[in-house]
Amino acid sequence: MAHNPLLQEQDALVFSHMGFYVKDLGRMTRFYTQVMGFTQTDQGDLGPVQLVFLSRDPSEHHQVVLATGRPEELHFNLINQLSFRVRDLATLRSIHDHALQTEGTHDMQCATHGNAVSIYFRDPEGNRIEVFLDTPWYCEQPLREPIDLSHSDEAIMARALAIAQSRPKFQSRATWQAEMARRMGYVKD
């Protein structure tokens, strides 16, 4: 495939939002506003499709669009996962606890990838959601080990570090990011 030099500029192509089809627009809107903290910014019809626009960023009109039209007989989710970053373990625990108490939320799993501490769960229509906290380390992926969020912050981070350090390419996140910036052409050799 030909290399596109215009896309080497960091802001030439920036991910903005995604949309997905739902069966029950009201239920899914409530889930994403009440559990995930999105604000409904707009709604309306585009032909036969009803749309709800959601955002957690006032500079983005929408980050997620929910659209009617998901077939009832579809028994496979085309979305692998929606992932959201949090700033600390307290926020991760809070979302974990709130999601567990929400009707329709299921399949809760807590894990570390060495480079992150994550929770995974399904929304009311079975779409997988990941909420995660980055760690200061890099280790090659995929890697997923169970973790217990009832432990102290120190114990959780120590376990994540031990798992990351057990991998042959372990390094600091800063070192890994500097190498990625070089490989992506943001930093010239």
Residue 70 structure tokens: 């998901």
Residue linked to tokens 């007989």: 73
Q: Whole-prediction pTM value?
A: 0.84
Bridge partners, 112 (sequence order):
117, 145
- DSSP, collapsed to helix, strand or coil, labels residue 132 as strand
For 60-103, the pLDDT digits (tens) are 999 999 999 988 887 777 788 999 999 999 999 999 999 999 99
Nearest to 128 by CA among 105, 100, 152: 105
Q: Cβ distance 55 to 62 under 8 Å?
A: yes
Going from the N-terminus, what domains does the chain have, and what CATH number goes with each?
1-76 (3.10.180.10), 80-189 (3.10.180)
